[in-house]
Amino acid sequence: PQVGDAYARMRIPRLGDGWEWVVVQGVGVADLRRGPGHYPDSADPGEIGNVAVAGHRATYGEPFAYLDTLQVGDEIFVERGGREYRYLVTESFITVPSDTGVLLPVPGQQGVVADEASVRLTSCHPRWGSTERLIVHGELAGSTTVPSAQNQASGVSEGAVT
């Protein structure tokens, strides 16, 4: 997908029964105004490596407003290309905004080749500030095929919104 296009659909049950967002491709200002954004140079859902997604906590719909409430073992679902990937939260932590190592294929390890599929959600911290970054990390726990009708209804495919 092109920057700004619908990329995937994300659900995080801990954030509420109705918490579901379309993730766009890209993390620029215009992209994040539409919802969470996939870092284009990061892995795709289900792939070996790190799927990295950024989102606002206090503006533009506040998709990650309560990201700090996630706990180890919570589920993060990412649907793309006819599959739904289930990640389990393994940790969350606070870091400085300049810590781009959290986005590497193996977070924090420059030049290391990934051998696991993971997800990283990033947002500003504290909620009403931007002096730090909140990072939530999860590991792939499985995936299922999304029935064709449901996949079409979700509006998320390999390309743009249908």
User: What would the DSSP string read from start to end of 88-152?
Assistant: EEEEEEEE-TT-GGGGSSSTT-TTPPP-SEEEEEEEEESTT--SEEEEEEEEEEEEEEPPHHHHH
Residue 127 has pLDDT above 80, yes or no: no
Return the pLDDT at 103. 82
Q: Is residue 154 classed as helix, strand or coil in its secondary structure?
A: helix
| Cα distances (Å, whole numbers) of residue 76 to 1, 8, 14, 36, 96 | 22, 13, 9, 13, 24
Query: Which entry of 38, 57, 120, 133 is annotated as an active-site residue?
Result: 133
Q: Is 56 a catalytic residue?
A: yes
Q: Which of 1-5, 72-76, 91-95, 156-160 has the least mean pLDDT?
A: 156-160
Among residues 38, 56, 80, 120, the one annotated as catalytic is: 56
Q: Is 9 a catalytic residue?
A: no
Block residue for tokens 């064709």 = 148
Active site residue 57: no
Distance CA 97, CA 82 (A): 34
Model's pTM, two decimal places?
0.87
The count of other CB atoms within 10 Å of the CB of residue 141 is: 13
